[in-house]
Structure 1
Amino acid sequence: MKRKISALFILSLISMLLLSACGGSGGQGNKKSDTVVIGVYGGDWEKHIKPSIEGFEKDTGLKVKVVSGTDSEWLTKLKASNGQNAPYDLLILQPDSIQRAQSAGLLQPIDQKKVPNIKDLYHSVQKRFTVDGKQYAAGFSMGQLGIAYRKDLVPQEPKRWTDLWNSSYQGHVAVSSPTYSAGLQFFAGLINAQGGLESNKKDVDKAFNSLADLKKNVTAYPDNPGSIQTLLERGDAWVVPFWDGRAYSLEDAGLDVGFAYPEEGAVAALASWAGLLQQFKMG
């Protein structure tokens, strides 16, 4: 049976991670600070995390500065800092970003004694973030990447990943580049849709060639959720690979958006908290 993670659990997990696994000091090196800097995705992510942050500040007396951004932006800054004086303490990252950051020695392993709730997370997920018996991230939000589309504009609703190449969508498809997590996940979905494997170079090359053929349909290459939302709202993009949660939020807000889980298979998406290398000192 799948375990449901409540809002209270998320608040508890965030609080413990902020207190014990905050990897930096708000960009202040080893100086003591009462401010924690966390990076989250913009839009609904930033809006919905606010109550948890306010609760943490009230309970601890610490201040939390929320910075919105994307994995590629954060990783670039982390690598530039080489793990020292990083501008963040805690980040929400996708699995591939966590792997790269951990391999580069930029993440702090989670102290499981100080974060006991981590044992309540999905073990199959946490296993992916475990290296030499140490866990480097806490997976807390799961969704799926599929196809978001404007129901009032598309001549026909998409059902498959390969529908994005349909000539009826020409000039109205938006696709993120692989440097953004949505684009990378779409690329994985495309390889699978073509019957290939990500580990097979020929299958990867075939998918890249298909992306080249898709250019005639593409209107934009958005690299963040805000850009995707704007493209959908303006009607510039009729179809775009996007996450189900994001699409349903747009629908709830009144936009005439539908969401399709492609017949070849949607792509699992996982967001996780990860703490950076430096030690956070409370003043």
Structure 2
Amino acid sequence: MTRLAPVPWAAPGGLTRRGLLAGMGAAAVGLSLSACGKSDEGRLNFYTWQDYIGATTLDDFRAKTGVRVTPSYFATNDELFAKLKAGNPGYDVIVPSNEFVTRMREADMLEPLDMAKIPNFANIAPEFREAAWDPAPRHSVPYTWLVLGIGYRRSRVQGTPDSWKWLFDSDLYKGRIALITDAADLIRLGAKYMGTSLVGVDAETARRVADMLGRQKPNIRRFHEDDGQDLLLAGEVDLVLEYNGDIAQRMREGPDIDFVVPREGSLINADALAIPKGARNLELAHDFLNFLLDAEVGRGITETILYPTPNAAAKALMPESYRTHPVIFPSGPGWEASEWGRFEGAEMQRLFEELITRMRAA
């Protein structure tokens, strides 16, 4: 793969979609969480991924509406689900991934949206306006999309590591590999490497994948909480299972860093904006969703986080260097073989987690 130039339009500093709570500091996070129990018509409580918004977006919304958006952060979809399943402590807008939109819909944890109050939904590209994971009546609107692949240091690998083999089934890069902790993603990508679809993975295939990863474990340096891009940038590992947007962010700081979607194909997901049941400010929540789908606002978000945007109007405002960036918008055999993930049900989720937990503990 040809090395990509640093992204010139990006905001300075390192960002991550799923970084742990570092950006604002523990005190600020605690303050945000404590605010969630209060009813305040001038405040909107936003539960999202760390550093997953434009540099001025929340201030811009306050300047326009007078409403202060108070963010707090989760590190995984499971954390989001567990927090809301126990009862909404006061969140008005959340950012679940597509599979968790399905899961939360099924558990009656999301408010149906009044699309008449979100006219900027017209800015969303046609291919993202209807989704199997959120059929009408809609309970979410698309925010970003993303694909898992291999981030790597070009100077430390042999050619382009364009197969899951180098992460899952080889000792060539022993001690220089980091994998994400998400059990379902590990099982499904392992199944993809074994030649099956990552949708509808059966129990036997899941066990075979867990056995393969168990054999590979001595070669793996870290299982990471989606900070693999930082491990790569720091030189702690040379290959990492990560999201395209996170690697694109680090490429502007590390010219030796690159990304590939393995030729077997990968997992495509989306993150969405939704209103949880129990939200206290439904009108303001709809206003906020509509604001985030504005073209100029969407451009500001995209310039900061560097993830692929489903907002066609915002994408049109971005420079060609973004719109044609082969890491942000992958192509080729691996991309063509990739599949959208879907929620496989609570029973299979429990099996995936049990298998990976057992593998890591062995």
Both proteins in one fold, TM over 0.5: yes
Partner SS, residue 167 of structure 1:
coil
Deviation, 1:72, is: 2.3
Contact 1:174 1:237 in 2 (8 A): yes
CA deviation digits over 1:135-193, x for unaligned, max 9? 111113123211001223335541101121321211121111225xxxx3343232122
Cα root mean square deviation, aligned: 2.5
Output aligned runs, 1:2-41, within 5 Å. 27-28=36-37, 31-41=39-49
Contact 1:145 1:186 in 2 (8 A): no
In structure 2, the residue matched to 1:68 is 73
Deviation, 1:39, is: 2.5
Output aligned runs, 1:105-144, within 5 Å. 105-122=108-125, 125=128, 126-131=130-135, 133-144=136-147
Contact 1:92 1:274 in 2 (8 A): yes
Contact 1:129 1:136 in 2 (8 A): no
In structure 2, the residue matched to 1:80 is 86
2:100, 2:138 → 1: CA distance?
Answer: 15
1:250, 1:115 → 2: CA distance?
Answer: 34
Deviation, 1:122, is: 4.6
Q: After the TM superposition, which parts of structure 1 deviate over 6 Å for at least 4 consecutive aligned residues?
A: none
Q: Partner amino acid for 2:63?
A: K
TM-score computed with the length of structure 2 as normaliser: 0.61
Match of 1:223 among 187, 211, 225: 225
% identity of equivalent residues: 20
Match of 2:207 among 191, 205, 230: 205
Deviation, 1:124, is: 5.0
Contact 1:231 1:237 in 2 (8 A): yes
**Is 1:101 matched with 2:104?**
yes
Deviation, 1:120, is: 4.4
* Length, aligned pairs only: 245
**Is 1:171 matched with 2:175?**
yes
**Gapped runs of 5+ residues in structure 2?**
1-33, 285-362
In structure 2, the residue matched to 1:187 is 187
1:186, 1:270 → 2: CA distance?
Answer: 17
**Gapped runs of 5+ residues in structure 1?**
1-24
TM-score computed with the length of structure 1 as normaliser: 0.77
